[in-house]
């Protein structure tokens, strides 16, 4: 379907309404006020949404760090001798 303000193949333009002037239509004060409120509410929504996304990312990162620490502890348990801290060596008498 051809655009109403452009010429078709025959060279005729469709006259279906006023041509756009490039100016924004005048709005009543109530419409402008409501639109401003809506935009303000939308900005609050976007801000809250971004904050929730940041919190979720932080929680995921904390979970990853916990899993990594837990996995590191588990790898030490598989050592049959176990880890001996330097301070533990001083508490026991040498074997005869």
Tell me the domain boundaries of the chain. Answer: 51-77
14 neighbors 2 (Cβ within 8 angstroms): yes
Residue 53 is classified by DSSP as H
pLDDT for position 46:
95
pLDDT for position 20:
59
The reported pTM is: 0.40
Is the four-CA dihedral 28, 33, 39, 41 of positive or negative sign?
A: negative
pLDDT for position 11:
56
pLDDT for position 73:
82
pLDDT for position 75:
75
Per-10-residue mean pLDDT, the chain, length 96: 52 57 60 67 94 98 95 73 62 70
pLDDT for position 45:
94
pLDDT for position 38:
84
Q: How far apart are CA 54 and CA 63, in angstroms?
A: 14
């Amino acid at each position: 379907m051809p655009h109403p303000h452009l010429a078709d193949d025959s060279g005729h333009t469709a006259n279906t309404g006023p041509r756009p002037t490039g100016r924004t239509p005048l709005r009543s004060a109530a419409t402008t006020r409501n639109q401003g409120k809506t935009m303000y509410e939308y900005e609050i929504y976007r801000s809250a949404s971004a904050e929730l996304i940041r919190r979720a990312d932080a929680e995921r990162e904390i979970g990853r760090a916990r899993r990594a620490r837990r996995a590191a502890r588990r790898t030490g348990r598989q050592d049959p001798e176990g880890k001996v801290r330097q301070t533990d060596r001083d508490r026991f008498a040498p074997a005869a």
